[in-house]
Structure 1
Amino acid sequence: MPRRPTLIRLALVVAGSFVAACSPTTATRPAASVAAPPPAPAVPPLSLIPQVASLQRAPGSFVLRSGDTLGVPDGDRAAAGAAQWLAERARASRGLALPLATGGDVAAVRFVRDGSVAAAEGYRLVIAPGGVQIRARTDAGLFYGAVTLWQVLTSVPAGAPLPALAIDDAPRFAWRGLMLDSVRHMQTPEEIRTLIEQMAEHKLNVLHWHLTDDQGWRIPIKRYPELTRIGAWRIPPHAGHDGEPKRYGGFYTQAQIRALVAYAAARHITVVPEIDLPGHATAAVASYPRLGVTGKRPKVSVDWGVNTTLYNPSPATVRVMEHVLDEVMALFPSHYIHLGGDEAVKDQWQASPAVQAERRRLGLASDDALQSWFMNQLGSYLGAHGRRMIGWDEILEGGVPGDAVVMSWRGSKGAVEAAGKGHDVILSPAPDLYFDQLQSDRADETTGRIPVKSLADIYAFEPVPKQLDAAGVAHVLGAQANVWTEHMPSFAHVEHAVFPRLDALAEVDWTPVVRRDWHDFLARLPAQLARYRAAGIAYADSAFAPDIAVDADAALASGRTRVTLSNQAKYGTLRYTLDGSAPDAHASVYTAPFEVGLPVTVRAAAYAADGSVLGAPRSRVIDRVALLTRGTTALANCPGNPFRLRVQPLPDVTSLSPVYELPLFNRCQQWADAPLDGIHGLHVVLQRLPNNYALAHDAKLVVQRPHATPFGELVVHLDRCDGEVLNQWTLPDPSRAPRTLTFNAAITPPPGRHTLCFALTAPNDGPLYVFDRVQLLDAVR
């Protein structure tokens, strides 16, 4: 006598497509398991990320217990792999032991091949009082069904019943990608496996692996061993001092690469390698100068940005790169191979008589056409071996080689142009899907590019450009986010940048537009954050961190101020304390702005509806000193170029803090409306940074101010950056001075509020200076 109704009974109470998914087979268990399940909540919350295409609830529930079996068809290795993944995740997250069983129909969870599931990666998941079925036509579909079942399992408390339901699901896009840059900073194979596992749990299916660039060559090529013996290593600025390594680099062995590719493939993730050319070639040319234009051996670059070293576009270089691709293809079975094509500044080609003679011999009208010819040689070589080239959108400029796929990174314009010409495209625009953009402008955010791309910004991204007609839409393969690691020297930086924005990306790539809802997504996140904590993922809580805002004018004038609490996502219950204690679930609930007397320390945290904390508490000290101080992130750029970066003191140190904001093109910052009543002095702290930025043609945008002393000055202007000079200090010889510089001076400013402009006149070919903090003083220290 079965202890639960059969799956067919559930089919009688749900609609249409649900019926086809159900089986008349009864699931039984050993007699020792026959205890009545606890009552299920009416509608338990389900943290399914990405949101599924269709979900129908049904009466009843099912309790999955240790000892229950996972049934797979005889000889179906892919089904067994999906079941084994589920068993491992269930053990790790819920302590359940779920053995695999082959053949027969008696199992608590059955994996079933079903030709009626039309989508290539689609699946049907049915949870009924009599058991669970995962049905799919393909290997990937069975795996994604297992992922969704695990998400259901971890959406309810441990031991609680799973709600009866039917899910019919399939992805919106075929390409659901994440790019990892392992050149600027490397990750260990174990760290990359961590990232791959999380991608699998989010149903992403492409890891684009950036392996060569100016700053290193990370893939061993047996025929050309110098690529890693020389090209894999660089000497950092300040090598061996203040936490900088004496040399930075390394490479992945071919065995490690094969193991990572296999690990990803078991989770239905394809690893697509990128070998960047004809630009971003410094490490390769440092290894084999004959690959370059000048014949000289450069150093492996320590400079972020656009280096100008190019490959020599000669038949001899083409042959070498074909040999390289032979070994790349042997390591990576991916149909796609990425050949870069971006940021190839043509200065070296234009200055080379030999290159220009080769261009004319080929009958090419421009250097852009020469790049297209060079890449087409290699794209055709890939095609002859059953592979297909991908290139960044610059490959449009000289004519897209062959049937290359265009990855649009300079906005979506490249995708529109390429799709209009009949080429497949992948949307990966900057800054929209660049995970090296900051997640918030909070002072406690770590390194990255500005402007901010928040969790909400990623969620709002639409991969299909509005300009495309139906034919163009058919060429959109999907979207991917990029993790460029110039400012991510450790895996902790990568985790902070990627999670939880990966959840938003997954939903952009997988979920139908009509099923995407920001508020529903936020409601599903607390359980996902719990999964991250269980897996040891150091995710960013930037979206939920409390912002503690005050009325500075009132505080300085009266010693009292109005405090307003908020967070970026506008989600959760904010709780706060004023006695210095950490806020907990019993702390005061914020409902409206409140008044406090100075000095005071406000501490706050956001809580989800289930009582779980959404992030670490934040605090703000409110007193006169704090109100008269501006840190590095609170000083604005002076008029001109708005570009700025948030950087560490040295490029390769691995701590998450301190950080400094660097206005790279105009080394000048200002404090607008500074309260100068009663102010008689200034305290300024500068940090000296290495000038390791390659700007190529953008170097002309860097402002150079006249300097009266050899190493420049720090000048404080009133009201405008060409206004009255309140004071100035001479910058010391950087070879003899500490990296942290402190300046104090008396000033006699007019009363009221005025803008203070802090301009640096240091020579552009010297080190960079950034502001640690500026403090207004009642008296000179």
Structure 2
Amino acid sequence: MKRTRPTLSPALVLLSIFFLLSGCNKKSNSHFVSEVNIIPAPQSIQHQDGSFIITEETTFSSSEEFKYANQFFQKYILNGTGISLKTIADPEKADIHFKTDTTLPAEGYRLTVSNNGILLEGADKAGVFYGVQTIRQILPPDMETAMVREKSTAEIPAVTITDAPRFAYRGMHLDVARHFFPKEFIKEYISYLAMLKMNYFHWHLTEDQGWRIEIEQFPRLTTHAAFRDETLLGHYNDTPQKFDGQRYGGFYSKEDIKEIIAYAEAHHITIVPEIEMPGHAQAAISAYPELGCSGEQVPVATKWGVFENIYCPNQKTFAFLKGVLTEVIELFPGEYIHIGGDEAPKTKWKQCAHCQKLIRDHGLKDEHELQSWFIKEIETFINSKGKSIIGWDEILEGGLAPNATVMSWRGTQGGIEAAKSGHKVIMTPTSHAYFDYYQSERTTEPLAIGGFLPLEKVYGFNPIPEELSPEEAKYVLGAQGNVWTEYMKTKQQVEYMIFPRMLAMSEVVWSGPTENFGEDFAHFVNRVESFHQRLEAMHVNYANHLYSIKGEVIKRKEGVYYKLSTPTSGKLIKYMLPNGNLTAYNEPFPIGGLRTQIKAMVYKDGQVVSDTFVEDITFHKGMFAKINLNTHPYKSYSSGGVEALNNGIKGSDSRYGDSEWLGFWGDDLEVTIELDTAQELSWISTSFFHAPGQWIYAPNQVTLLISKNGIDYQIDQTLDLNPDATRVNAILDIDTLTTKFIKLKIPNFGTIPDGKQGAGNKAWTFIDEIIIQ
């Protein structure tokens, strides 16, 4: 479905300017003037002549059916302007009226603002609430401060907005098990979702590193499993690993959870609690060792990753999990219980006599089918309580539970398989939905797990894979952004990682995926720039990369050029070359030499608003070569394309996810290089990323082959690699020769061995610039 963009006519733009100017003739703190700047974008906006001004005399009428919308609206106006709206019973006499219109789509609304008042019609309670959120965003950002010291009026342009969501499931996730966040922040987080018309909060409550929910039947879950002895410092891949030596933890009492559920209900948010199984269970097993296959005491995990201590499918475990789930189901009113199902190493099950007997007794093929049997047992119990399960896409392995909804995170393939088999799907692939990934390539970014997910990539996400037919696509309920908190210790860090990317995700799931990315993203970015004022008024610690600079090498017949750009319009970029002056950028400029460093900055209103952008370019004989690969890089790690291998720019030494590294999952790689002319060569080099904690392994060897005709290749040499750092350099010195055709054979590391993170999975290969001299 095409995302329809509201277009502001010149008349409406002039109207906004008039309001701004008219506001200047009044006391600055006595008259709020509004603009039309809404995220997610409504399906339709039509401007009208005039405006409506909320004053002390403004009257309000609405049905008690809309109590949450009514309460939110009245409190928002009171906090923002000091005006207490006069509630009256007769809607015909009210200046502001909320009412039902059942002809609108589910969760949809129609907002009509005229000189005479405001009429908000909703398909249902949620629709009216979302209409209130639109009114909120039309009102000035200053009203978010809730610090009015004298009564003010607020002026709203006359508009008609008709709107409804594209997807039924519009979610955000938060992991509170790696790092714990107090209930006050959980409520803040829920309020962010509501502002953006998102309706599901996926609350990840249990992990290897901590259990966060009170269960009365099992008190050691909160006295023991909720706390770890210490926490990893720095990144998991740092060698040697260091720890802080400080006991850490926390949990939510049942009263806390009831309070949060009530708050979510008042914001039309459904909470999906996640109780992980059979993997990510070390904290629970630490509290109750009989839940593991060995029965041995293990600690609550103190570092990140995947652990082999998973629930044993025995009677004690099922009694425990059913007891836990019974209390969870009694607390949470929503339809779904998330049971995890991801990253469960089967090492302990392979060694467990009881598990092997289960496999034989039930005619199962292997441990993967044993996990499927485990999940089906749990699903039967949850279904008996009137609830449905959601699981990560690993629950597809060994056979999918009959009524399960699949949350597809390892790309979209799991979701495709589930939809084709008639199962509901929620899309949340790492490529577009993991907000724990870096959002900028600048070196000043706070520590993150890895990867690279800029704002534009989130915005360009389409939850409906092209492989699905229209009938199959109906099983895709929607999408969500995921926030894993290994490297987020504070609410400020969480806010920095979710904003503004959550704005983009909200627009994807409410307005629908774009079919005109260039035009739509430019419009979206301008709205985000304005939305920053609202976030500032709310004291949200958002990330501002709208003034960042992107550089690109452009190859032309006459030479190499360099292009600069920044996301927001109307900004001046100035750049400087070595020994040169600061110059205003207008178009791609020529570069050359053995090495060139480019520096650039963005200016707004004459002031520098960006960090200094620095790009180092190494010129070499392969820059104009044609490069072919025997396999495509993985979609999540291909943003630079094959051109990234010979554009003269090296990737980061510490991040594998930037646009210069290409990632391949489990594939042997062959790189065929055809130089523009036959040239005399002395050496060839490239680099590989090596981070076993993230399943990334440098290859064991690289083989160089040479050809005179591009058909017959002979091995020149094979280089063995012994990784001892994150960047593994492969330099192949060759006897001086003249050739035009080169090939590199790079075998994948293979299957990750037992005892390592990701054991049993294929390893990743990441390759950087190929330099030829």
TM-score over 0.5 (shorter chain): yes
Distance 1:601 1:95 in 2: 49
Distance 1:493 1:702, change over 3 A: farther
Structure 2 equivalent of residue 478 of structure 1: 478
Distance 2:308 2:697 in 1: 15
Structure 2 equivalent of residue 63 of structure 1: 53
CA contact (8 A) 1:445 1:542 kept: no
2:54 is paired with a residue whose SS is coil
Could you give the per-residue CA deviations for residues 670-708 of structure 1, whole angstroms, max 9, x where no partner exists?
xxxxxxxxxxxxxxxxxxxxx9x867xx5987979xxxx
Using the TM superposition, give the Cα deviation of residue 133 of structure 1 relative to its aligned residue in structure 2, in angstroms: 0.7
Distance 1:462 1:238, change over 3 A: closer
Could you tell me the TM-score, scaled by structure 1's length?
0.69
Which of 191, 216, 222 is the aligned partner of 1:228?
222
Using the TM superposition, give the Cα deviation of residue 306 of structure 1 relative to its aligned residue in structure 2, in angstroms: 1.8
Distance 1:358 1:511 in 2: 48
1:184 aligned to 2:171?
no
1:154 aligned to 2:153?
no
CA contact (8 A) 2:232 2:303 kept: no
Matches within 5 A, 1:597-636: 604-605=601-602, 607=604, 616-619=609-612
User: Counterpart amino acid of 1:230?
Assistant: H
Distance 1:482 1:426 in 2: 12
The answer for unaligned runs of 5 or more in structure 1 is 1-34, 552-561, 579-586, 629-640, 645-658, 669-690, 705-711, 725-763, 767-781
Using the TM superposition, give the Cα deviation of residue 166 of structure 1 relative to its aligned residue in structure 2, in angstroms: 1.3
CA contact (8 A) 2:653 2:727 kept: no
Using the TM superposition, give the Cα deviation of residue 155 of structure 1 relative to its aligned residue in structure 2, in angstroms: 7.3
Structure 2 equivalent of residue 537 of structure 1: 540
2:431 is paired with a residue whose SS is coil
Structure 2 equivalent of residue 760 of structure 1: none
CA contact (8 A) 1:274 1:339 kept: yes
1:120 is paired with a residue whose SS is coil
Distance 1:53 1:545, change over 3 A: same
CA contact (8 A) 1:126 1:132 kept: yes
Matches within 5 A, 1:125-144: 125-144=111-130
Could you tell me the TM-score, scaled by structure 2's length?
0.69
1:362 aligned to 2:362?
yes
CA contact (8 A) 1:318 1:374 kept: no
User: Counterpart amino acid of 2:62?
Assistant: V
Using the TM superposition, give the Cα deviation of residue 50 of structure 1 relative to its aligned residue in structure 2, in angstroms: 0.6
Q: Which moved more, 1:104-113 or 1:198-207?
A: 104-113
1:566 aligned to 2:565?
yes
CA contact (8 A) 1:341 1:395 kept: yes
Structure 2 equivalent of residue 48 of structure 1: 38
Q: Which moved more, 1:406-415 or 1:64-73?
A: 64-73
Distance 1:291 1:714 in 2: 38
Distance 2:726 2:37 in 1: 55
Using the TM superposition, give the Cα deviation of residue 444 of structure 1 relative to its aligned residue in structure 2, in angstroms: 1.6
Using the TM superposition, give the Cα deviation of residue 303 of structure 1 relative to its aligned residue in structure 2, in angstroms: 2.7
Using the TM superposition, give the Cα deviation of residue 173 of structure 1 relative to its aligned residue in structure 2, in angstroms: 0.6
Q: Which moved more, 1:54-63 or 1:273-282?
A: 54-63
Distance 1:44 1:320, change over 3 A: closer
Distance 1:238 1:291, change over 3 A: closer
Distance 1:459 1:700 in 2: 31
Using the TM superposition, give the Cα deviation of residue 57 of structure 1 relative to its aligned residue in structure 2, in angstroms: 1.8
Distance 1:515 1:98 in 2: 44
1:111 is paired with a residue whose SS is strand
Distance 1:297 1:765, change over 3 A: closer
Could you give the per-residue CA deviations for residues 385-434 of structure 1, whole angstroms, max 9, x where no partner exists?
11000011111111111201011111111111111111111001112211
Distance 2:352 2:442 in 1: 48
Distance 1:125 1:96, change over 3 A: farther
User: Counterpart amino acid of 2:273?
Assistant: P
Using the TM superposition, give the Cα deviation of residue 68 of structure 1 relative to its aligned residue in structure 2, in angstroms: 2.1
Structure 1 equivalent of residue 312 of structure 2: 312
Using the TM superposition, give the Cα deviation of residue 541 of structure 1 relative to its aligned residue in structure 2, in angstroms: 0.8
Using the TM superposition, give the Cα deviation of residue 575 of structure 1 relative to its aligned residue in structure 2, in angstroms: 6.2
Distance 1:487 1:156, change over 3 A: closer
Matches within 5 A, 1:395-414: 395-414=395-414
Using the TM superposition, give the Cα deviation of residue 479 of structure 1 relative to its aligned residue in structure 2, in angstroms: 0.5
Using the TM superposition, give the Cα deviation of residue 193 of structure 1 relative to its aligned residue in structure 2, in angstroms: 1.7
The answer for unaligned runs of 5 or more in structure 2 is 1-24, 144-151, 235-240, 555-560, 577-581, 591-596, 619-632, 638-651, 662-690, 702-722, 735-753, 757-773
1:432 is paired with a residue whose SS is helix
Distance 2:501 2:251 in 1: 28
Matches within 5 A, 1:581-592: 591=586
Distance 1:512 1:153 in 2: 24
Using the TM superposition, give the Cα deviation of residue 451 of structure 1 relative to its aligned residue in structure 2, in angstroms: 3.4
1:113 aligned to 2:100?
yes
Structure 1 equivalent of residue 745 of structure 2: none
Identity within the alignment, %: 35
Which of 77, 91, 107 is the aligned partner of 1:90?
77
Using the TM superposition, give the Cα deviation of residue 545 of structure 1 relative to its aligned residue in structure 2, in angstroms: 2.5
CA contact (8 A) 2:231 2:243 kept: no
Structure 1 equivalent of residue 530 of structure 2: 527
Distance 1:279 1:245 in 2: 26
Structure 2 equivalent of residue 339 of structure 1: 339
CA contact (8 A) 2:336 2:387 kept: yes
Distance 1:187 1:144 in 2: 27
| Residues matched between the structures, number | 599
User: Counterpart amino acid of 2:523?
Assistant: D
Distance 1:620 1:504 in 2: 25
